Chain A
């Protein structure tokens, strides 16, 4: 198979039997590259160039299709994650088109830190977006991820306007974005763009070894996972502002 450079997918991991990355049983395809550098990033290999395999969209889908019987019984499919999977448009679009050609359900996990045109270009190919909201203060956002949040918030509103199916998600990181004032502001934003629900992903420490293995220092190595009580508190705070918090286990 000849590999067209334009649509070659740079895949740094594929995970079968993913059950927390969208409906049903899924295969998650991790694409390399990300414009952000979040302090809590659990996939630092996403921006280590050279760690990924270059695969044609057909080759990726051939792997994804191996579990199609399990997607059929569970309402699952393929999730494209990263990194930021929408960073390089041509490969991800080709991948999603190929999935759709085989009738595979698609979910894309995005940071929203991409040009609006990239989102517009895949709208009809994506059954569900997972959209991360990390911090409402642009300055804090810049300090934590390397970029401000203006474009991200605009893109969130854009997807809602266009009627896309979107699940908004926040990584809940103790001491970073779990204070009541921030949660209130986040909830107001979510309501303002017409969404009602926020998935809360509690920070965890399982990824820390990856940094060591890659010879990197994890910025949040001293941060603990949020306690059950603080998760409940966060959920209650979001609830006070009419946003249903769904704790992801």
Chain B
């Protein structure tokens, strides 16, 4: 670590001797001094603290290798004491601090490990790994800890206009103005994440954290809550797909894609006499899948514990030094593993369709459905259309939402019952890492009318285009699920109505949506603004964009139901083309 930062120091020193520009020379000298000190020695100023944070983060990622989800944590809390002290001493101005934070944001978006192609498609502009920063929220004592730096970070994120992964912790005590500012970020750049402190803290306590430690949680990777510097989280990487459990039911334990007998033979699906029988077969398959994945993860972790010690990162995690053990070998104070679940909306819509069309209305038999799925609905477009018209998750329909609620509760129970090699337990998550499009490529046709290879629903969100009753209805549906069971988080991704951020009332209403959802127990929500590219895509594939709302004063319409000429008109109207 010391050698690493010293290389920067000596380069800056050498360059400062060559430059004739006095201003630049002073800058280079400061760089040389800063890099010569941190992170080996403690920072003495805000500049040194920012540099120390970045060096540590950067070295950690290099030491770990590609695919890491290493987070600097609660950066506004970490840096605030230095900011406050420097301001008081007159050694820093707000503007200078903002400039430094902007540079930090650019760095966090940079490509450290070279995987530009996949990174660019999957993650963000610069193809960087996800280095999620956490802002706002409660402190260990339960008071609001939002500070001046939280706001400065908002400005820095807005000015740099990169796809920064930033998580905003919102509690009942968060200042309203802070929430409003976070919403307003959407006017300039892409989606900040909103996290509900009350739900996240309850989930952490359920998983064994003290309430004080839980209140210090930060977000790892996408939306996985973890302890702030005291946990070996291993929050991602292992996952099951709920639609696969259905595929296994339909094929007596074989997956359509791989063909091997990977699951349980739950009997001839055409002979299920009730929906309950089908559901119990589904859960048997799911249980066996969770078992497989957890065992494979144990195996992987055993190899890491033996071969891939990481003393550098371990030195930043409480417990490792005290116990004298590496983080991969159970040294951290808190240890967990994860099994994620994917395609919730697709699976729930499929189960609801089977219940409605096979068992309640008798419109199609299980045998017929099996046949249609195995041929990807060839010659059965009529059946596919019927299935597509079935009841869907995300429309505030209690009977459908109950399927989702039960599925998540049972899945979480299966996962948390398993112990990890490091002594903790597995935690469940429902997140897509932006991969739901790829994941769908391996899944055959599903009983919700989805074609083979089409994307699965993402994270905890309703299937694409399934929600037809607006954002409040979707939130009511998703919030029926007990989010505190899902230790490693879930995400709800929603499209904001086009044009809504034009007015202050619109910004305020989005803040109210967040508050309302969180009061119901929702854990995370993230909004996508609608850009011209989205509108053009919606014209091409209207079936995936059924939830896209256009809102102008006193009038609103679903974009895909408007005529082509009006659609073109909207695409061309600059005042409706907000926020990239």
Chain A residues within CB distance 8 Å of chain B: 15-21, 24-25, 42, 66-67, 69-70, 72-74, 76, 201-202, 204-209, 212, 228, 248-249
Contacts and interface: CB of A to CB of B under 8 A. Distances in A.
Contacts of A205: 566, 569
Given A209-B563, A209-B566, A16 B469 contact: yes
A249 B503 contact: yes
A225 B18 CA distance: 62
B281 interface: no
Contacts, number: 92
A76 B513 CA distance: 12
Nearest to B473: A16
B208 to A, nearest CB: 31
Contact of B551 (A20, A69, A74): A20
Contacts of A25: 472, 509, 512-513, 516
Contacts of A212: 563
Contact of A66 (B476, B562, B570, B575): B476
16 contacts: A17-B497, A19-B500, A20-B551, A20-B553, A24-B512, A70-B472, A70-B516, A73-B515, A74-B512, A74-B515, A204-B555, A205-B566, A206-B555, A206-B566, A209-B566, A212-B563
Contacts of B550: 206
B506 A19 contact: yes
Nearest to A14: B469
A42 B553 CA distance: 12
Nearest to A81: B554
B338 to A, nearest CB: 31
A69 B519 contact: yes
A66 B469 CA distance: 12
Contacts of B519: 69, 72-73
Interface in B516-532: 516, 519-520
Given A17-B472, A19-B506, A70-B512, A206 B552 contact: yes
B566 A17 contact: no
A184 to B, nearest CB: 23
A66 B396 contact: yes
B470 interface: yes
A206 B516 contact: no
B566 A249 contact: no
Contacts of B515: 73-74
Contacts of B516: 25, 69-70, 72-74
A20 B554 CA distance: 5
A16 B472 contact: yes
A20 B570 CA distance: 19
Nearest to A249: B503
Contacts of B497: 17
Given A66-B476, A248-B503, 19 more contacts: A18-B556, A19-B505, A19-B506, A19-B551, A20-B554, A42-B555, A66-B472, A67-B472, A67-B476, A70-B512, A72-B519, A74-B508, A74-B515, A206-B552, A207-B557, A209-B563, A209-B566, A248-B554, A249-B552
A70 to B, nearest CB: 4
B502 interface: yes
A248 B566 CA distance: 21
Contacts of B500: 19
Question: Most chain-A Cβ atoms within 10 A of its Cβ — which of B503, B506, B512?
Answer: B512
B471 interface: yes
Contact of B470 (A17, A72, A206, A208): A17
A201 B553 CA distance: 7
B523 to A, nearest CB: 16
Contact of B513 (A20, A70, A204, A207): A70
B494 to A, nearest CB: 11
Given A42-B555, A73-B515, A209 B562 contact: yes
Given A25-B472, A249-B506, A206 B512 contact: no
Contacts of A67: 472-473, 476
A248 B556 contact: no
Contact of A15 (B396, B499, B556, B569): B556
A230 B369 CA distance: 59
A21 B513 CA distance: 16
A249 B512 CA distance: 18
B178 to A, nearest CB: 16
Nearest to A202: B553
A18 B396 CA distance: 17
Contacts of A72: 516, 519
Interface centre among B469, B470, B516, B554 (most CB of A within 10 A): B554
A18 B515 CA distance: 16
Contacts of A202: 553
A69 B520 contact: yes
B553 A248 contact: yes
